[in-house]
Structure 1
Amino acid sequence: MTAFDEYERRAWAGRAAAFAGSFAKLCAHPVPQLLDAAAVREGVRVLDVGTGTGTVAAAACERGAKVTAVDAEPSMVELAGRAVPSAEVLSAVLPDLPFEDGVFDAVVGNFVINHVGRPKDALAELRRVVRPGGRIALTIWAVPAPPGQALLGRAVEAAGATRPAHLPPLAAEDDFPRDPEGMAGLLASARLREATCETLRWEHRAGAEEWWSGAAAGVAFIGQLLLSQPEETRVEIRRHFDVLSQEFLGADGRLVLPHAALLASARR
């Protein structure tokens, strides 16, 4: 396990409810396209890796698929197990999945590959558990991020907050370009065929307090960065957030936040 993986386990520990009340709605947007890219339909044996609150697993079950879902965080497994009783929900950590070779027709991962310390090893494991000819589809946040997607990060930067040493970046040798070419290349490097990648763009709507609440609860990297700051810095970040949020205020008083993600798929 890399230092990045260890950080991820600490960062997400016990945060399923906070994620469900904040960023989970945002992450649900690409789910239909993700399942289409993996050709998930009735009777398909599908593995949902990093299921989180179970949004992808639930949508796959609605299509009549035979769904197994895994997550590394116990609170997510518990939440998803309750939310999607028709799926088999298990605890598992990439790149070591508790399945035989080639047991799934499709594997999907919604914003998961950005949470593993060795993406190539994770993809090799996903390739192992999907059958020859089966499909793998993944989403990841695009870089550079649109302004709405970068709102919280802009507030942190405006406050002069720094990244502490206990929040390690992905090792340079394990990183890859977060653009369509880089993502398709990552899949191809795992000996997956017909790798393609497209950019999905949408506007996410959320109340300012809802959007702030995820970070305030320590959800994801931005939340861990916020919690690592002294109290006076957190107050300053919130002040900048309130000011910058005005750029995205809609007529109904909610934020309209442009986002972009990459959707990549390939075949074994």
Structure 2
Amino acid sequence: MTIFTPFDAAERRTWAGRAAAYERSFAALCAHPVPTLLDAAEVRRGLCVLDAGTGTGSAARAAGGRGAAVTAVDADPNMAARAAATAPGVAVCVAALPRLPFADARFGAVVGNFVLNHVGRPRTALAELRRVARPGARIALSIWAAPPAPGQTLISRALQAAGVPRPAHLPTLAPEDDFPRTQEGFADLLHETGLTAVRCEILTWEHRTTAEQWWSGPAAGLASAGQILMSQPPEVITEIKRQYAALCTQFTAPDGLLALPHTALLASAQA
């Protein structure tokens, strides 16, 4: 079986060279679960911790702030470089699940903030995280829940309102590799991998941002919605943004900022 899938290849292309755009737009949103994630992994002073799929390093920085000895990996070299620049004392390298360059049982805790949303074979990736965790180590992971919260679908609804369909060529996970993005489905995934003491909770929050800042991520090609947006001719992009502006009124708070509801799942278990 090939380790990397067409979905993995598409993810590499989507995020390549876009670390700065991610940091300006979606990074603050994705950082929200980090304190709860580190608590679930029991990250503390002196513990050897792996942050898998570090992005621009929010979880790695926070773990280092707790006094842990942190190693962070990301599949994108620009993301890894940004994490290294902003997380002093963290050892950062370029590596992609499900193949990590570490010995068995290397880490006393493992965290992955939304990393499973970006891999083609989540079970294989999770097995790799278990491999590098010491017996008894806590593994904590977050994913986006399904169905998604209204704030998470704002851009895709603007695309739909403008009459732009999802292109057939955008890869999705094979049915045999996917799993239900629910509390029960996520917990079952961890059980299937042989992890024990599994816990899974729902996280809900409103992400506060400006309409322009939120638009800037897809406008830079981030995520599948950004890839769809960038492939459109200028007149269609103008119509999408018009629809987006109209939809933003549903989420605009009295202070003018958007208050975007989001829902994630956070699961943890023992290796």
Runs of 4+ in 1 over 6 A off after TM superposition: none
For 2:136, what is the secondary structure of its paired residue?
strand
In structure 1, the residue matched to 2:114 is 111
Q: Which amino acid aligns with 2:234?
A: E
Query: What are the within-5 Å matches in structure 2 for residues 226-237 of structure 1?
Result: 226-237=229-240
**How far does residue 228 in structure 1 lie from its aligned partner after superposition?**
2.2
| Structure 2 partner of 1:64 | 67
Give the structure 2 partner of residue 21 of structure 1.
24
Aligned to 1:163: 166
Pick one of 132, 137, 141 that aligns with 1:138: 141
C-alpha RMSD of matched pairs (Å):
0.8
Match of 2:102 in 1: 99
Give the alignment partner of residue 180 of structure 2, picking from 164, 177, 180. 177
Q: How many residues align?
A: 268
1:113 alignment partner AA: L
Alignment partner, residue 49 of structure 2: 46
Match of 1:255 among 244, 255, 258: 258
Q: Which residue of 2 aligns with 1:191?
A: 194
Partners of 1:151 and 1:265 lie apart in 2 by 29
CA apart distance, 1:98: 0.3
Q: Which amino acid aligns with 1:41?
A: R
| Normalised TM-score (structure 1) | 0.98
SS of equivalent residue, structure 2 residue 151: coil
Counting aligned pairs with the same residue, the percent is 62
Deviates more, 1:56-65 or 1:221-230: 221-230
CA deviation profile, 1:56-107 (whole Å, cap 9, x unmatched): 0000000000000000000001111110121000000110100000010110
Q: Deviation of residue 221 (structure 1)? A: 1.7
Report how far residue 232 of structure 1 moved: 2.5
| Separation (CA, whole Å) in 1 of partners of 2:231 and 2:187 | 34
C-alpha displacement at 1:233, in angstroms? 2.2
CA offset at residue 251 of structure 1? 1.2
1:164-198 Cα distance to aligned partner (Å, 9 max, x none): 23311111111110110010011111111121211
1:208 aligned residue (206, 211, 220)? 211
In 1, Cα distance between equivalents of 2:175 and 2:194: 21
Deviations 1:18-68 (A, max 9, x none): 000000000010000000000001011100000001000000000000000
Which residue number corresponds to residue 128 of structure 1? Answer: 131
Q: Deviations over 1:123-181 (max 9, x none)?
A: 00000000011011000111111212211111111112112233111111111101100
> Alpha-carbon deviation of 1:231?
2.6
Counterpart mapping for 1:145-156 below 5 A? 145-156=148-159
Q: Distance in 1 between matches of 2:22 and 2:151?
A: 18
The structural deviation recorded for 1:216 is 0.3
**Matching residue's letter, 2:35:** P
Q: Secondary structure at the match of 1:133?
A: strand
Would you say the 8 A contact 1:164–1:228 is kept in 2?
Answer: no
Structure 1 CA distance, aligned partners of 2:170 and 2:110? Answer: 29
